[in-house]
Structure 1
Amino acid sequence: MESVSPNIFVYDIDATAAFYKKLGFDVAVTVPDDDGGLTFVMMTCGTATFMFQTFRSIEGQHPVVRRENGGSLLLYVKMKNIRVFYERIKDTVTVVTPLEKTFYGATEFSIQDNNHYMVTFAEDE
């Protein structure tokens, strides 16, 4: 295995792309839907990749995918320069856990994204 790229189901893909752009992600790939909007967006930042897909695009398929925002998913992102990044975004996002040193030696903070998913950023300092 070389990497993992979560495919995260959302209701508002445009708002989601805008939120992740604030975190420094760029749109790499899009797939349009039949109405002229988007049904899928792949976003990257460095070597991190997140894929976002609308719940509507899987209607009638994959019943195991819950049709609600948030849930028991935490995205854990390892990065460099966490303190600079934290200072840059902390006033523009919902911070769940402020910047702290953990008992296992990582410096971390967690935010809630616009879909109520939790994203933890970590650096081994």
Structure 2
Amino acid sequence: MDSLSPNIFVNDIDKTIDFYKTLGFKVAMTVPDEGNFVWVMMTCGKVNFMFQTFESLGSELPEISRQNGGSLLLYIQIKEIRQFHDKIKDKVKIIKGLEKTFYGATEFSILDNNGYILTFAENEE
């Protein structure tokens, strides 16, 4: 295996693009190329997320829940976590503050605009 790029289903792809731009992500690809997007790939460093509208699924893959959020936590390793935390803390909903864990990582967690949890972590020296 070479990489993992989650395809996350959302109701409002435009609001999702705006939210993830706040975190430093950039749009890499869209479907269609212009207009009302049904799919987008966003990147930040080595992290890639794909976002797709529930509507675009139609009746395909009925096993995928058709609601926002869920039992998924996206764990993202970053550098300079304290600076990143300070940069976004007033722009996002922080659900678990900056703390040092028993396993040595410094982490904090946020809730994205779709109800998904993102935990940012750094193994500080």
Is the shorter-chain TM-score for this pair beyond 0.5, marking a shared fold?
Answer: yes
Q: CA deviation at 1:59?
A: 1.1
Give distance in 2, aligned partners of 1:101 and 1:59: 43
Percent sequence identity over matched residues?
A: 63
Give distance in 1, aligned partners of 2:115 and 2:49: 15
How many positions carry a matched residue from both structures?
A: 123
Report the equivalent of 1:90: 89
Structure 1 unaligned blocks of 5 or more: none
Q: CA deviation at 1:69?
A: 0.3
C-alpha RMSD of the superposition: 1.0
- Corresponding letter in the other structure for 2:4: V
What SS class does the counterpart of residue 49 from structure 1 fall into? strand
Report the equivalent of 2:107: 108
**Which ranges of 4 or more aligned residues in structure 1 deviate by more than 4 Å?**
none
Q: CA deviation at 1:2?
A: 2.0
Give distance in 2, aligned partners of 1:96 and 1:71: 15
Report the equivalent of 2:30: 30
Report the equivalent of 1:65: 64
Q: CA deviation at 1:32?
A: 2.0
Report the equivalent of 1:17: 17
- Corresponding letter in the other structure for 1:16: T
- Corresponding letter in the other structure for 2:61: H
TM-score (norm 1): 0.96
- Corresponding letter in the other structure for 2:102: F
- Corresponding letter in the other structure for 2:6: P
Report the equivalent of 1:77: 76
Q: CA deviation at 1:77?
A: 0.4
Report the equivalent of 1:56: 55
Give distance in 2, aligned partners of 1:78 and 1:51: 18
Give distance in 2, aligned partners of 1:115 and 1:32: 22
What SS class does the counterpart of residue 68 from structure 2 fall into? coil
- Corresponding letter in the other structure for 2:64: V
Structure 2 unaligned blocks of 5 or more: none
